[in-house]
Amino acid sequence: MKITVTEKALQWFQNELVIDAGQGVRFFGKVYGSTNVHEGFSVGLMIEMPEAPIYQEVIAGLLFFIEAADEWFFQGYQIAVDYDETLAEPKYTFFTE
């Protein structure tokens, strides 16, 4: 399990989200949509304090993490977070480890 964030995506997170001390960006699997490896599920994000992270990474001072409850969605994958210029939002691509 690994999270990578491109510079453009990082700029979006820094410009669009308010993240208080101790909080981070939590990625989770949500019903609706699809990814390149999941049908019927897409990636959601929320700003919160980590409770039981199974993976976390600090990139340019921002904490990105995945909670134990979402292991089923991310297990065996690396996730690359990029910026979609057309939709003006992050886009997610999964790779096998």
CA distance 88 to 64: 20
Taking phi first (over 0 means left), then psi (-120 to 50 degrees means alpha), and beta for anything else, what does residue 76 get? left
CA distance 52 to 55: 9
31 pLDDT more than 90? no
**DSSP letter, residue 50:** -
Q: How confident is the model at residue 42 (pLDDT cuts 50, 70, 90)?
A: confident
The domains found in the chain, sorted by start residue, are 2-96 (2.60.300.12)
Quote the pTM value. Answer: 0.90
Q: How confident is the model at residue 36 (pLDDT cuts 50, 70, 90)?
A: low
Report the SS3 class of residue 16: helix
Over the stretch 3-25, which tens digit does the pLDDT of each residue have? 999 999 999 999 999 998 889 99
